[in-house]
Amino acid sequence: MDDVTRLREALKPVEKAAKGLPWAKKRPWTVQTHVGIDRGVPIVDLHDLGTRTAEAVCDTVIREADALETGACFLITGVGRHSTGKAVLPSVVRTRMGAACQERGWSLRIPRAGRFTVLIDPSKAPAAATGALGWVTWGWLLFVAAAAALVALNSC
């Protein structure tokens, strides 16, 4: 079973619970619309969830994490533009996932506001999760360095 399918199946109870949220008719949270893949890494978007359902997502990801073939997962919380008051979801993820990462030796990264990377197994995780430069980037850097060296040699 691929990672997205695994997470969608595991998160079905959250989908059911999310139907009871006050805004669910306007902004429903479903596994089809909020669980997917981004640059080879499974992604779970917590937008349209409340505190309890977001905690349930975190708990589910923690339970399923070791089985994820990609060795990583993205969790999207946003920055709270649609919140009344302080954004709640980032602190839920920081607290819940941060504790799990400390206990299990994983790492929790925040590449930008509202986006978290849970790095479970760096040896399996794509560069999008680890922050490593891909071969295209390395090739471009090598090309630029070679071009700069040629310009320097020709100007001597």
Q: What is the pLDDT of residues 55-99, one digit of tens each?
A: 999 999 999 999 999 999 999 998 766 666 677 899 999 999 999
Instruction: Give me the number of domains the chain comprises.
Output: 1
**pTM of the full structure:** 0.80
Distance CA 73, CA 4 (A): 10
Distance CA 77, CA 90 (A): 6
> What is the maximal distance between C-alpha atoms in the chain?
73
Domain that holds residue 102: 3-154
Helices (H), the chain: 3-10, 12-18, 31-34, 51-64, 89-104, 127-130, 135-154
Distance CA 28, CA 128 (A): 28
110: tokens are: 């925040």
pLDDT tens by residue, 4-60: 999 999 999 999 999 999 999 999 999 999 999 999 999 999 999 999 999 999 999
12: tokens are: 């079905």
Confidence band for 115, pLDDT divided at 50, 70 and 90: very high
pLDDT at 92: 93
pLDDT at 153: 75
